[in-house]
Chain A
Amino acid sequence: MDKLLDIENLWVRFPTRQGVFDAVRGVSFSLGRERLGIVGESGSGKSMTGRAILRLIRPPGIVEADHINLGGVDLLKKTDKQMRAVRGQRISMVMQDPKFSLNPVTTIGDQIMEAYRLHNKVSKSGAYAKAVEMLNAVSIRDADRVMRAYPHEMSGGMGQRIMIAMMLIPNPEILIADEPTSALDVSVQRQVLDIMDALVKERGMGLIFISHDLNLVADFCDRVLIMYAGRIVEVCAADKLHEAQHPYTRGLLNSLPRLDAPRARLEVLRRDPAWSETPSVSGRV
């Protein structure tokens, strides 16, 4: 399998008044043309890992790593200007809530076209045609009306699909999706995932799928990293997630109410301080 992305010993630190807080503590993993899931609770550092790859963490936050190689080139050595050519064009990111990631005072059409024209030299009409094509690809009907609409006129599911269209229009090699469906209803969730899945397969992209929903990740991804307190505690194949060994993963799985196995009481996760002390498991292939 060819490696699109290879990360070694990634740290994300935030200096605070009470000393330095380590949000991500020495994480290593690689990504091929696959769907890689990262799961964990809030505060486990999963979103920070995604953001650190794109160097989206602003000072005073500190990102350190032995390397973050994208196609053999270290992203950490790039200048800010060179980074801008990477963001969007080679790696793009879909954020959690479309409400906060779309510009509220610009029409959707203009936003998608901007994303395309920034990286491609095309005429306005060419960009328009491409944007409509992308909206169709994420199964939005009457794309012409949506192009004229403002974000507040869209539902959550529509907004998220528009975000995906916008992120995929420059045809990146890697898509980082940070909780792309957690603001959506179950029925819409499925649709959005299917669309992402089809696009990733068609284009041979690598996908990093960040989520707190274990069942969703087990269903949707190929490989899963489980994060706890800034470290990877377990790596496993997604279809084997329900046979996971680490007590933290087991605890998370058991704390879910299940329709197929009803129980009188839910198990409560008992945290072992040793979990955050054991060194990170490598997620490199």
Chain B
Amino acid sequence: MNMLEIDNLNVWFGRARDRVDAVKDATFTVGEGESFGLVGESGSGKSTILRAITGLVPTWSGEIKVRQDPVPKKRPKSFFKSVQMVFQDPYASLHPRHSVDQVLGETLFLHGFREIDARVVKLLDDVGLGQKFRFRYPHQLSGGQRQRVAIARALAPEPKLLLLDEPTSALDVSVQAEILNLLADLRQEHKLTYLMVSHDLSVVGHMCDRLAVMKDGEIVEVMDVAALYAMKAVHPYAQHLLQASV
């Protein structure tokens, strides 16, 4: 079964003369348990696709289906239980005056969970942080630790599909390795499906099974990782991107 189907997705910003078509006729599917990557330059529309899926951008047309259910413009609560997102910058995505306990506790409360206390403990263990970080504030955490908290928050409602928007681009390479390993473990443990955006082809190659190459809002090529490793891209732009990344 397909976890996510995107059909002829168009996303635009502005109106009339100032209209910018950020995503044009994007079509792809992500199977259950699969990890799918979106790559491209800045401004190619890869993050915009994620934002359109979660409803952070209201101006889209086309069809988005999560587990074969079309997603309406007004997202129901059940949608957010199955789809969650991790943002690029862990410094900006956590509330500076909320402790880790508050961040996770509030999320759990809003999703109607009981036994919040035990669940917070479990979430922190899952992302490898442990108890001692529970009552800390974001400024008392390093970049990698913050990203772990952001991942724990995304995992709180027990989603099936995780949208990852450049989860490691703000981190050092040594920390990036830790976070990528964590994401790989979590995917296996919780049977998650990933849709991951990155500008780094080697990261996508490491994490994903298939990937789509985007340019100027269009998906120019969908290929699997074996083709990426073999450097066999069909579209000239995709080939150019591969060459530039080696």
Q: How far is the CB of B170 from chain A (nearest CB, A)?
A: 10
From B42, B143, B173, B228, give the contact of A255 (CB < 8 A).
Answer: B173
Contact bitstring A230-264, B, C-beta under 8 A = 1, else 0: 00000000000000000000011001111110110
Residues of B within 8 A of A251 (CB): 174
Restricting to B168-195, which residues have a CB under 8 Å from any CB of A?
172-174, 176-178, 180-181, 184
Q: Quick check: A257 and B203 within 8 Å, CB to CB?
A: yes
Residues of B within 8 A of A16 (CB): none
Contact flag A187-B41 (CB < 8 Å), given A41-B172, A212-B173, A266-B206: yes
Q: How far is the CB of B3 from chain A (nearest CB, A)?
A: 23
Q: Quick check: B174 and A258 within 8 Å, CB to CB?
A: no
Q: How far is the CB of B168 from chain A (nearest CB, A)?
A: 10
Contact bitstring A177-219, B, C-beta under 8 A = 1, else 0: 0000000011111100000000000000000000010100000
Q: Quick check: A256 and B173 within 8 Å, CB to CB?
A: yes
Interface stretch (choices B98-106, B107-115, B133-141, B238-246): B238-246
Q: Quick check: A260 and B181 within 8 Å, CB to CB?
A: no
Give the number of residues in A that approach B within 8 Å (Cβ atoms).
27
Q: Quick check: A42 and B174 within 8 Å, CB to CB?
A: no
Contact flag A257-B202 (CB < 8 Å), given A186-B241, A266-B177, A266-B181: yes
| Distance A268 CA – B171 CA, assembled complex (angstroms) | 14
Q: How far is the CB of A278 from chain B (nearest CB, A)?
A: 19
| Distance A151 CA – B125 CA, assembled complex (angstroms) | 46
Q: Quick check: B172 and A212 within 8 Å, CB to CB?
A: yes
Residues of B within 8 A of A186 (CB): 41, 199, 201, 241, 244-245
Interface presence of A267 (CB below 8 A): yes
| Distance A233 CA – B246 CA, assembled complex (angstroms) | 27
Q: How far is the CB of A190 from chain B (nearest CB, A)?
A: 6
Interface presence of B205 (CB below 8 A): yes
Contact flag A214-B246 (CB < 8 Å), given A185-B42, A259-B205, A268-B181: no
Q: Quick check: B206 and A262 within 8 Å, CB to CB?
A: yes
From B43, B173, B178, B206, give the contact of A214 (CB < 8 A).
Answer: B173
Residues of A within 8 A of B202 (CB): 256-259
Interface presence of B229 (CB below 8 A): yes
Contact flag A252-B174 (CB < 8 Å), given A185-B41, A190-B244: yes
Q: How far is the CB of B221 from chain A (nearest CB, A)?
A: 16
Interface presence of A265 (CB below 8 A): yes
Instruction: Name the residue of chain A whose CB is nearest to the CB of B171.
Output: A42
Q: Quick check: B205 and A262 within 8 Å, CB to CB?
A: yes
Q: Quick check: A257 and B206 within 8 Å, CB to CB?
A: yes
Interface presence of A156 (CB below 8 A): yes
Q: How far is the CB of A252 from chain B (nearest CB, A)?
A: 6
Contact flag A268-B178 (CB < 8 Å), given A256-B173, A257-B206: yes
Classify chain B: how many residues form its interface, as a range: 20 to 34
Q: Quick check: B174 and A269 within 8 Å, CB to CB?
A: yes
Q: Quick check: B205 and A269 within 8 Å, CB to CB?
A: no
Residues of A within 8 A of B229 (CB): 259-260, 262
| Distance A234 CA – B163 CA, assembled complex (angstroms) | 39
Contact flag A257-B180 (CB < 8 Å), given A187-B240, A187-B241, A187-B244: yes
Restricting to B203-246, which residues have a CB under 8 Å from any CB of A?
203, 205-207, 225, 228-229, 231, 240-241, 244-246
Residues of A within 8 A of B42 (CB): 156, 185
Residues of A within 8 A of B245 (CB): 186, 259
Task: Pick from A156, A185, A258, A267 the residue with the most CB of B within 10 Å.
Answer: A185
Q: How far is the CB of A211 from chain B (nearest CB, A)?
A: 11
Contact flag A259-B228 (CB < 8 Å), given A42-B172, A212-B172, A252-B173: yes
From B172, B205, B240, B241, give the contact of A257 (CB < 8 A).
Answer: B205
Residues of B within 8 A of A214 (CB): 173
Residues of B within 8 A of A257 (CB): 177, 180, 202-203, 205-207
Residues of A within 8 A of B199 (CB): 185-186
From A185, A189, A265, give the contact of B184 (CB < 8 A).
Answer: A265
Q: Quick check: A267 and B177 within 8 Å, CB to CB?
A: yes
Residues of A within 8 A of B178 (CB): 268
From A156, A255, A265, give the contact of B174 (CB < 8 A).
Answer: A255
Q: How far is the CB of B183 from chain A (nearest CB, A)?
A: 11
Residues of A within 8 A of B173 (CB): 41, 212, 214, 252, 255-256
Q: Quick check: B244 and A41 within 8 Å, CB to CB?
A: no
Residues of B within 8 A of A256 (CB): 173, 177, 202
Instruction: Name the residue of chain A whose CB is nearest to the CB of B41.
Output: A185
| Distance A155 CA – B172 CA, assembled complex (angstroms) | 25
Q: B residues engaging A (CB < 8 A)?
A: 41-43, 143, 172-174, 176-178, 180-181, 184, 199, 201-203, 205-207, 225, 228-229, 231, 240-241, 244-246
What 3 A-B pairs have minimum CB-CB distances, sorted nearest first? Answer: A257-B206, A255-B177, A266-B177
